[in-house]
Amino acid sequence: MPLYPTPHINAAPEDFSETVLMPGDPLRAKFIAENYLTDAVCINKVRGALAYTGYYKCKKISVMASGMGIPSMGIYSYELYNIFGVKRIMRIGSAGAIRSDIKVRDIVIAMGACTTSSFATQYNLPGSFAPICSYEMLKACTENAEKLGIRYHVGNILTSDTFYTDTAGLTDENLPSSAWGRMNVTAIEMETAALYMTAARAGCEALAICTVSDHLLTGETTSAEERQNSFTDMITLALDTGAELIDD
């Protein structure tokens, strides 16, 4: 068992809740801690991956930035599960919609995560692996979304290894996003598959909740400031769900 602190997290297991919310952006973690948690304490600043622990509805909750992309999420989720004793991680991030029925600022809850990454090769499986979320977390999340009256979609998401993709010479019909959309994939982001695979290997739980920040079909988008501060429905949904799942 690796020792703590690690090269990436300068904290002890007791500093974390059993449930950690993980936005990609450190400033979003800071925003949540300052605006939603009581008695929040910053427990990590290494590499700017800000982490806080405080209380929400009297339940101890942690929030920590994952950074961008599969490698970063893979590192932090592995350490939280295997070294710091975290039981469940909820990714709260942004995604680009690739279905016409999904609108900007809608919430996508990832039941499964397709990927363009080779992350799963490390497990030496004799076939392909289908990364999926925790059913308990998914059920609690959808029930809370109904209570809050939030517009949401449940389905497959695509975790991509690239943000900028070379599509020179391709027609709209032949774009990678169009191919995934034809398979009824909801949206594209860059972290969920790694989180789901790491959780599966650790015997822990995970769920990704993403607000649609832009639309690959319509071109509609949101600003960086809006993504940082205005995704309040997603934050409230994640906190309500996380608090509900914590044992008293």
Residues known to be catalytic? 214
- Return the amino acid letter for 165: T
Please tell me the number of Cα atoms within 13 Å of 191 on its side-chain side. Answer: 29
In contact, 36 and 92? CB cutoff 8 Å: no
Spell out a b/e string for 137-147, using b for 16 or more CB atoms within 10 Å of the CB, else e.
Answer: bbebbbebbee
Phi, psi dihedrals of residue 167, rounded to the nearest 5°? -115, 20
Structure tokens at 6: 């690690």
The alpha carbon dihedral of 232, 41, 50, 138 has a sign of negative
Cα 110 to Cα 228: distance, rounded to the nearest angstrom: 20
Whose CA is closest to 210, among 173, 132, 148, 158? 158
Cα 216 to Cα 188: distance, rounded to the nearest angstrom: 9
Residue 152 gets which letter from DSSP? E
Structure tokens at 156: 């497959």
Cα 55 to Cα 41: distance, rounded to the nearest angstrom: 10
Rg of the chain on CA atoms, in Å: 17
